[in-house]
Structure 1
Amino acid sequence: MTDAAAQTLSVVVEREFAAPPEKLWRALTRPHLIEEWLMKNDFAPDVGHRFNLRGDWGGVLDCEVLVVEPERTLSYTWNFAHDDPAYALESVVTFTLTPTHAGTHLRMEQAGFRPGQKQAFGGARVGWTQFLAKLDDVLARPD
């Protein structure tokens, strides 16, 4: 582990969903569904694909797909450019899906918060909890 990596923090949120992994995977990888629970986007589940997430608050996140293991793991960069280093963020979001007897366990980790980014870190903790609640609503709909 590098010194820089040792100094960063991660937000981890874990949830159980009553949906099977393939349904959860669709909600994580189809742009129209991502927009319903996360943000507007031009996502494609292809390693190396660069895309943007556009928040209702006017911010744009620059992202690149790093890992695609269908119905198992999805990882992408989550970068926000800002003049103030307290708000600029270079991080990686990783979703890990594990089948369970009742559906799917989802582990979301956003890694890369620097110690001085307390507001961004706290915002991510609250934000991901809200995003995943919206994801639950998307998954609750019949196919």
Structure 2
Amino acid sequence: MTDLAADTRTVVVERDFAHPPEKVWRALTQPHLIEEWLMQNDFQPVVGRAFGLSAEWGALTCEVLEVAPHSTLAYTWTGLGLESVVTWTLTPSGAGTHLRMEQTGFRADQDQAYYGAKAGWPRFFKKLDQVVAGLD
């Protein structure tokens, strides 16, 4: 039996936000805000709940794996042949939040998905920062 984790790649993006974890958390968990920076969705931060993400290029099916308010959020990210897990970690830092996103599960034969994620997540982070900056 092979170790599947050893045969997969991971995309990690980290960024400091000049906003408290509570604000960043809202943008990561409220459907109308998620739609502004990521995709259309029917997300609810409830462990075990299935939800969908959709964009002009296709749709993903997801399931919430972990919810620790203002700290950790994890969910599956499945579609177009990709079975991965996205984990968000929020850490207070000075007057703001250090946000780390890790997407695991890219197989060696999934270069398009892997490089697409490497290019796409930094753009999503930029939009996320704009959404969070606009919150009261």
What does residue 65 of structure 1 align with? Answer: 64
Alignment correspondent of 1:78: 77
Equivalent AA in structure 1 for residue 122 of structure 2:
T
Give the percent of matched residue pairs that are identical in Structure 1 and Structure 2.
Answer: 65
Compute the displacement of 1:109 (Å).
0.3
TM-score (norm 2): 0.97
Query: What CA distance in whole angstroms lies between the structure 1 residues aligned with 2:135 and 2:35?
Result: 18
Q: Does the alignment pair 1:94 with 2:84?
A: no
How far, CA to CA, are the matches of 1:115 and 1:138 in structure 2? 34
Contact 1:41 1:54 in 2 (8 A): yes
* Residue-by-residue CA offset, 1:86-139 (whole Å, 9 max, x unaligned): xx1000000000001030000000000001111110000111011010001101
Q: In 2, Cα distance between the equivalents of 1:110 and 1:141?
A: 26
Change (3 A) 1:125 1:19: same
State whether residues 11 and 102 of structure 2, in contact with CA within 8 Å, keep that contact through their aligned partners in structure 1.
yes
Query: 2:116 corresponds to which residue?
Result: 123
1:135 aligns with 2:128: yes
Unaligned runs of 5+ in 1: 83-87
Contact 1:39 1:56 (C-alpha < 8 Å) held by counterparts: no
**Correspondence for 1:85:** none
| TM-score between the two structures when normalised by the length of structure 1 | 0.92
Higher strand share: 2
Letter in 1 for 2:41: N
Asked if 2 retains the 8 angstrom alpha-carbon contact of 1:78 and 1:89, the reply is: yes
Q: Which residue of 2 aligns with 1:106?
A: 99
Partners of 1:112 and 1:142 lie apart in 2 by 33
Q: How many residues are paired up?
A: 135
Deviation at residue 142 of structure 1 after TM alignment: 4.1
- The one-letter amino acid of 2:16's match is E
Instruction: Provide Cα deviations, 1:22-59, integer angstroms capped at 9, x if missing partner.
Output: 000000000000000000000000000100000122x1
Confirm or deny: 8 A CA contact 2:23 2:135 kept in the other structure.
no
